[in-house]
Amino acid sequence: MSYENPDVPHEVNVSRDNALVEFLRLLAGVALVVLAIAAALYLAGGWLARQIPFATESSWVGDRVLGIDVAPAGTRDDVQPYLQTLSDDLAAAMQLPDSMTIRVHYTQAGTANAFATLGGHIVVTNELYRLMPSENALAMVLAHEIAHVKARDPISALGSGASLALVFAVVSGEADGLAPRLAGLVQLGYSRSVERDADREAVAALRAHYGHAGGGASLFEVLAAQQHPVTGALPTFLSTHPADAERIDELMRAAADWDAVRQPLTPVRVPAARGD
Amino acid sequence: MEGLIQIGIFVVLLAVGWFAGRAAEKRHFRELAKLEASLRDILVFNERRLPPGGRFSRTTLVVGSVVIAEDYFKRVAAGLRGLVGGRITVYESLLDRGRREAIVRMKQEARELGATMIMNVRLETASMSEDQSGRAPMFSAEFIAYGTALVPDRRS
């Protein structure tokens, strides 16, 4: 009997595929699946959050404006009651359900901005208020934000954002700190269609309140003129809301039947103080 | 911004792992091929009994052991593979290197003893990745090859 060791082809154990190509293909596949799951959860989270009764949302939030330090603005304390009365009138015109209450905050800030947040709170900055050419434009801003509250957009955004944070936490596993920041990056405000719906609702409210939809589009012209001379940055109200020509066109069309002579715009009743 | 920095660090580590790991692996495979060729005359078998009719002056235990660590790229690629299942090809080559290196070292020990054959060869692998926290920080594996070296009787 003779003993020998044959030559063994060792390469059978080594994959001929390029490991990097395989890795990238796998990464792309997994990323696609994760994105699909994230999109599904984003939509489901938003939908589920909308099912929370408004009364429950208000009881969670209370009188605070979540996340933002609202500093009462200016020396004139009659602006806030004026904004509150105007938005109450608009809310009535928009047939806001009785269970929903709108609370308007007038705040000191360097940028022209207005936004609606959880619990029916609407924040208007003194900078935006100062720029309003007419009460009609101001009503357009308020009605737009009331429409967001009516459609439950703020809590829907919260639900979507929370779902995304969950996905990132599960996927990243060890990178705990990364998850909320990434979720924050993705949550960049409302979608275009949500904004368009809010615009339509606001135009209807303007028509119900003033009998015409004039003055709404001028709001955007005023804000666009405020474009920062150096950086070219738009005021926040515009940059977070898609201020495309289409949107302005739609407002113009809505105001096409408005006769500026017979239906004059209402001036802002309480002028902003000079120091505000 | 902070997120971008973290992603950047991740990509850099991945690139270091890919380039350094691939260079090390290629070099190791080249060395293995050379050493295996030079040690071809030492025969290895997993048979337990001595060859009939052979005359040996000495039989003794020989051991070859090696520990090989993964690189960052292998780790991430294997983690990704762990999500979907399938062959972890990046570890297949790592384990292949470990087994062959262990056999080579065992044969080198046998060569120093003047042996021409190693019988009853066994291979064992141990993962050194787990620590007490239950998290696997880095995967590395120890490979041991051992067997009975047969030193021929020169007088016969």
pLDDT at B24: 95
* pLDDT tens across the length of chain B (156 residues): 677 888 899 999 999 999 999 999 999 999 999 999 999 999 999 999 888 887 899 999 999 999 999 899 998 898 888 888 888 889 989 999 999 999 999 999 999 999 999 999 999 999 887 666 666 567 788 999 999 999 998 775
Is the pLDDT confidence value at A72 over 70?
Answer: no
**How far is B97 from chain A, CA to nearest CA, in Å?**
10
Task: Flag whether A147 is in a domain.
Answer: yes
Residue of A nearest to B10 (CA): A175
The single-letter DSSP state of residue B116 is S
pLDDT at A71: 67
pLDDT tens-digit readout, A176-215: 555 555 445 444 567 777 888 888 888 889 888 888 888 7
Are the beta carbons of A15 and B89 separated by less than 8 Å?
A: yes
pLDDT at A66: 65
Task: Flag whether A7 is in a domain.
Answer: no
Is the pLDDT confidence value at A97 over 80?
Answer: yes
Average pLDDT over residues A58-73: 71
Asked if A10 and B37 touch (Cβ cutoff 8 Å), the reply is no
Average pLDDT over residues A230-246: 51
Instruction: Give residue A234's pLDDT band: very low, low, confident or very high (50, 70, 90).
Output: very low
**A139 phi, psi to nearest 5 deg:** -65, -35
Least confident window among A10-14, A32-36, A229-233, B13-17: A229-233
> What residues contact residue A140 under an 8 Å CB cut-off, 6+ apart?
A202, A203, A206, A215, A216, A219
Domain range for A182? 20-254
Q: From the candidates A5, A8, A172, which should be mutated to test the interface with B, based on the most B CB atoms within 10 A?
A: A5
* ipTM score assigned to the predicted complex: 0.72
pLDDT at A176: 55
pLDDT at B52: 84
Asked if A209 and A90 touch (Cβ cutoff 8 Å), the reply is yes
Return the number of CB contacts < 8 Å for A and B: 55
**Widest distance between CA atoms in chain A:** 118
Average pLDDT over residues A112-118: 81
Q: Which tokens sit at A150? A: 């009516």
Q: In A, which residues are within 8 Å of B45 by CB distance?
A: 3
Task: Flag whether A116 is in a domain.
Answer: yes
Task: Flag whether A222 is in a domain.
Answer: yes
Task: Flag whether A198 is in a domain.
Answer: yes
pLDDT at A236: 47
Chain B interface includes A26 (CB < 8 A) = yes
pLDDT at A32: 92
Q: Which tokens sit at A197? A: 């719906």
For residues A196-213, b (16+ Cβ closer than 10 Å) or e, as one string?
Answer: ebbbebbbbbbbbbbebb
Q: In A, which residues are within 8 Å of B78 by CB distance?
A: none
**Strand order, beta sheet including B140-152:** B43-44, B117-127, B140-152, B56-69
pLDDT at B130: 65
Write down the pTM of the prediction. 0.63
> Taking Cα atoms as reference points, which of A144, A142, A139, A132 lies closest to residue A226?
A132
Q: Of the candidates B52, B81, B95, which has its C-beta nearest A1's C-beta?
A: B52
Q: How do beta strands B56-69 and B140-152 pair?
A: antiparallel
How big, in percent rounded to 5, are the helix, strand and coil portions of chain B? Answer: 50, 25, 25
Task: Flag whether A118 is in a domain.
Answer: yes
Question: Can you say how many angstroms the Cα of residue B94 is from the centroid of all Cα atoms in its chain?
Answer: 7
Chain A interface includes B153 (CB < 8 A) = no
Asked if B151 and B144 touch (Cβ cutoff 8 Å), the reply is no
Query: Three-state DSSP class for B65?
Result: strand
Instruction: Give residue A263's pLDDT band: very low, low, confident or very high (50, 70, 90).
Output: confident
**How far is B42 from chain A, CA to nearest CA, in Å?**
9
Is the pLDDT confidence value at A61 over 80?
Answer: no
Mean pLDDT of chain A: 77
pLDDT at A173: 62
Are the beta carbons of B84 and A30 separated by less than 8 Å?
A: yes
Task: Flag whether A273 is in a domain.
Answer: no
Residues A247 and A95: their CA atoms lie apart, in Å, by 24
Residues A90 and A143: their CA atoms lie apart, in Å, by 6
pLDDT at A232: 44
pLDDT at A158: 81
Query: Three-state DSSP class for B5?
Result: helix
**How far is A186 from chain B, CA to nearest CA, in Å?**
12
pLDDT at A273: 62
Q: In B, which residues are within 8 Å of A1 by CB distance?
A: 51-52
> What residues contact residue A121 under an 8 Å CB cut-off, 6+ apart?
A61, A65, A66, A103, A105
Are the beta carbons of A29 and B81 separated by less than 8 Å?
A: no
Chain A interface includes B84 (CB < 8 A) = yes
pLDDT at A239: 47
Asked if A196 and A247 touch (Cβ cutoff 8 Å), the reply is yes
**For B75, what's the count of Cα atoms within 13 Å in the CB-facing half-sphere?**
16
* Higher per-residue confidence, A209 vs A62: A209
Instruction: Give residue A267's pLDDT band: very low, low, confident or very high (50, 70, 90).
Output: confident
Percent of chain A with pLDDT over 90: 8
Task: Flag whether A108 is in a domain.
Answer: yes
pLDDT at A230: 46
> Residues A203, A207, A212, CA angle at the centre, nearest 5°?
110
Least confident window among A77-81, A128-132, A213-217, B5-9: A213-217
- A 175-214: CB under 8 A from B: 175, 178, 181-182, 185
> Taking Cα atoms as reference points, which of A115, A132, A133 lies closest to residue A124?
A115
Instruction: Give residue A170's pLDDT band: very low, low, confident or very high (50, 70, 90).
Output: confident
Are the beta carbons of B80 and A30 separated by less than 8 Å?
A: yes
How many domains, chain A?
A: 1
